[in-house]
Amino acid sequence: MPKIQIQRQHALPFEEAKKNVQALVEHVQDRFPSLVSRIYWSPDGRVANVEGSAFRGTFALTDGEVTGVIDLSWFARPFLPRIQREIESTLEHYFGPN
């Protein structure tokens, strides 16, 4: 499966960064509602596992970094650049430039 890997440093307080990651995941769900079928959050809110019809991914938060790995099905491969741009743009909106 083709992968998108993201990594973004941040200097936000943990609770603010956590809210921003939650908003990022909700944005992905709102932007691609027909593709996102499930979102599972860890009890501490540091990790979100997202599943859909053409992908599966994980977003994780530490005190100074946001990471994400998204595995796309071969069917979704042509959309990889668009999806990556959307995620990078949303990360920049919530966490500032890289």
Domain boundaries, the chain: 3-78
Q: What is the pLDDT of residues 70-86, one digit of tens each?
A: 998 888 888 888 888 88
DSSP 73: P
- This prediction has a pTM of 0.82
Give the residue, 1 or 5, on which the prediction is more confident: 5
* Contacts for 72 with CB less than 8 Å, ≥ 6 apart: 1, 2, 3, 4, 54, 55, 79, 80, 83
Q: What is the pLDDT of residues 50-70, one digit of tens each?
A: 998 888 999 999 989 999 999
- Number of Cβ within 10 Å of residue 48's Cβ equals 21
